[in-house]
Amino acid sequence: MTIDHLRSGLSRYTYEFAGYVSAAEGFVLLSGYVTGLSFTRAALANPGSLWPKAARRIRTIYVAHALTFLVLFATLRWVPGVVAEDSSWAKLFQMHPVDAVLLGLSGLYQPEFLDILPMYCLFLLLVPFTVRKLQAGEGIKVLCGSFSIWVAAQLGLSAKLIVWLGTVLPVWLGDFDPFAWQFLFVCGVCWGYRTSAGAAKRPLFQVPALPFWLFIAPLVVLLFLWRHGLLTPPVVWNLEALQTGMNKQYLGGIRLFNLALLAGCLGSFRWALVPEKLVAPLALLGRHSLAAFSIHVYLANYWTTAQALVPDFTPLEQILATLFGVTIALGVAAALERSRSERCS
């Protein structure tokens, strides 16, 4: 995600490399999975702890978002010429500072890269209810209800709501429609619940790994070739419908299908596709994902500012800046890990 958002030559090889799936889809799905694990364990230990746990996590995420927004607003606003007219920050900087801050802190206006955390706060409100329903054996109802909301988003109902809100306030909810993306998060919560509650030992369906992989792998390759322009869809296909299915803001159907195929491939042969040496640094980032995410937002915004002030960075300089940014994110996670270990000892 850091490499993608710092936009160097490396991002051409990392952004949607595997097809019509970006880091965001994996980030939301895995966040839902970890949330499902955590809240299911809490529900099994103390059923009354779900809402307090959700409230504490929402508070933590909101504080991180608010601090990130305030620091960026204060620093970017007073640097002349660094924000383009089409930037998501431009409208805020044209307002009175108090109005702009209130609008940003309320979550009604979310500049670039600052739209994920407010969406997570909304998603966490669903988690206690979702876990309770799953414990009651109503998982199918949960998924059907979440899927219905996703369908409504595809039909434009959420977009109409945002347009209506825009007639009252200058609303901008960012590049992710929460009504669509909640489905991916809820799927992750259900997955985490099955794992934590032991239900994962009883699979929903049993398919031999190799035949299953041989069936879905060609579809993964096909979508990969389409995404990178190495193959074009048949002319008889409805290209407008294809573009809708590939839409990232509303989490189009093709993106969901592509993610499901990739998950199937990784699930069948995860031991062969995930090098063991990568597990430790990835787990480190996962344990401190909120801090790493906030740092990456700072890096992405300040790098955009630097490029506006010095537009002639060479490709090599851009790549070095990207690698430096990744190193900073890892360094922050490592420092937090060390601090945690010292407190525990």
What HEC string does the chain produce?
Answer: CHHHHHCCCCHHHHCCCCCCCCHHHHHHHHHHHHHHHHHHHHHHHCHHHHHHHHHHHHHHHHHHHHHHHHHHHHHHHCCCCCCCCCCCCHHHHCCCHHHHHHHHHHCCECCCCCCHHHHHHHHHHHHHHHHHHHHCCCHHHHHHHHHHHHHHHHCCHHHHHHHHHHCCCCCECCCCCHHHHHHHHHHHHHHHHHHHCCHHHCCCCCCCHHHHHHHHHHHHHHHHHHHCCCCCCCCCCCHHHHHHHCCCCCCCHHHHHHHHHHHHHHHHCHHHHCCHHHHHHHHHHHHCHHHHHHHHHHHHHHHHHHHHHCCCCCHHHHHHHHHHHHHHHHHHHHHHHHHHHHHHC
Read off the pLDDT of each residue in 310-327 and give the average, rounded to a whole number.
88
Residue 276's pLDDT band (cuts 50, 70, 90): confident
Parse the chain into domains and list their residue ranges: 19-271
Q: What backbone torsions phi and psi does residue 172 show, to the nearest 5 degrees?
A: -145, 110
Residue 57 above 70 pLDDT? yes
How far apart are alpha carbons 66 and 64 in whole angstroms?
6
Higher pLDDT, 28 or 81: 28
Q: 28-32, 76-80, 84-88, 152-156 — which is least confidently predicted?
A: 84-88
**pLDDT in the model for residue 205:** 45
The two three-digit tokens of residue 18, written as one number: 């595997």
Read off the pLDDT of each residue in 111-129 and give the average, rounded to a whole number.
92
pTM: 0.88
Nearest to 195 by CA among 207, 204, 183, 184: 204
**pLDDT in the model for residue 204:** 46
Higher pLDDT, 23 or 81: 23
Read off the pLDDT of each residue in 48-75 and give the average, rounded to a whole number.
94
Residue 85 above 70 pLDDT? no
**pLDDT in the model for residue 210:** 62
The two three-digit tokens of residue 36, written as one number: 């499902």
Q: Match 């952004």 to its residue by tokens.
A: 15
% of the chain beyond a pLDDT of 90: 39
